[in-house]
Structure formats: C-alpha cells, structure tokens
Amino acid sequence: MQEIVFVTHNKGKIASAQKNLKDVNIKIYDYELDEPRSDDIAYISKAKVEEAYEIVQKPCISLDCGFWIDELNGFPKAFVNFALETIGIEGILKLMEGKTNRACRFTECLSYYDGKELHQFEGRHEGTLAEEIRGKDTKEKWSNLWYIYQPAGYQKTLAEMTKEERAERIRHESIDSMKEFAKWYLEHNQ
C-alpha cells in the first residue's frame, strides 16, 4: 500500500488520523499550510491538499473543520479558530445568553489528492451548546469547544465524558470523514 502524507501541524488532527486510519500508511509532515478565507470547508480543504501535494509530491490528505451554531446563523462556521482566539468560548456563551435553540454541529471535510484526482469526504457531528463551561482538561482535548459542546444524545460536554463515553459517541456518529476516507481508500487500493 502506498504512503499518504498528512501535512499539518495540528496535534489534534494528527492524533485523530493515527487513531482512525490505522489500516492506511499515513506519514505526518509537520507544516502549517495556508488557509484561504472562506466559510466553505470543502474549498479550504481542497486548497490545502493541493498546496500539500506541491510540497511533498506524494498523495496527501487535508482535513478542515468548522463549527456551526444554528441560532447565530452558523457563526463561527469555518472561522472557528479566529472566534476562539478573539471572543473565546466565554464570548460564544455570551452571544447565546437567553437563546433556547442551542443546536450546533461540527462539520469536516477530508480531501485526498494523488496529483491527478481529488476525492472529498464530509463528516458531521450534531450536538448542542451547554449553558456554561463544564469539564476538565485531558490529553485528548483538541479545542476549547470541548467545554461547551454536548454531543447529540448526551447531557455532558466532551470535557465531562469519560474516554469510553467519547469512544461510544464516535461509534454512533452519523458520518466521520476519516472513517469514510479509510473505507474508500482500502476498497480502492488493495
């Protein structure tokens, strides 16, 4: 099986790839790719994987994520890192004060590019926003949203869940882009 390069410096994405793509030969190349200004995560992921391919000249993957809050017309969308750096989770909760619709979701797009063909795999993780910051740090934390995001079907934030509960939640998610990619890749590259 050929090697696929994941060009990223994001430790959370690296950990997720190593966990979810065990049957795929992934090599990590630590580099921060340019991120175009857009709220279209598929477009961002495509631009990043094409840049990654130009750097390493091998088949690559790129993963881009966004966070949508229904009550705020989708804010912060693909600008989640900017929102966390400026207003933080405290600011997000302030914007949600008095709001009853607390539906939100993570969306993700994994792009695979081999220099000729682009394939994209989308994921979606539904949930609700807690009304306050809850939970504690663990080595699995990948974002401060960890403290306010409650996966669908749970009354706990990710930061309050046990490792086993988080694993169970992932098994029941509707679509996970890395799992969809791994399934496709293994079917087409045996």
- By residue count, the chain amounts to 190
The pTM of this model reads 0.86
Residues with active-site annotation: 64
Res 174: pLDDT: 59
Residue 178: pLDDT band with limits 50, 70, 90: confident
Q: Tell me, what DSSP letter sits at residue 145?
A: G
Q: How many Å is the maximal CA-CA distance in the chain?
A: 53
**Which burial class, exposed, middle or buried, applies to 79 when counting CB atoms under 10 A from its CB (0-12, 13-18, 19+)?**
middle
Angle between helices 11-20 and 177-188 (to 10 degrees): 50
Please give the domain boundaries of the chain with CATH numbers for all domains.
Answer: 4-188 (3.90.950.10)
Residue 165: pLDDT band with limits 50, 70, 90: confident
Tens of pLDDT along 79-103? 998 999 999 999 999 999 999 999 9
Is the pLDDT at 172 greater than 60, yes or no? no
Is the pLDDT at 190 greater than 60, yes or no? yes
Do residues 78 and 64 lie in contact, with contact meaning Cβ atoms separated by under 8 Å?
yes
Is the pLDDT at 55 greater than 90, yes or no? yes
Number of CB atoms found within 10 A of residue 145's CB: 22
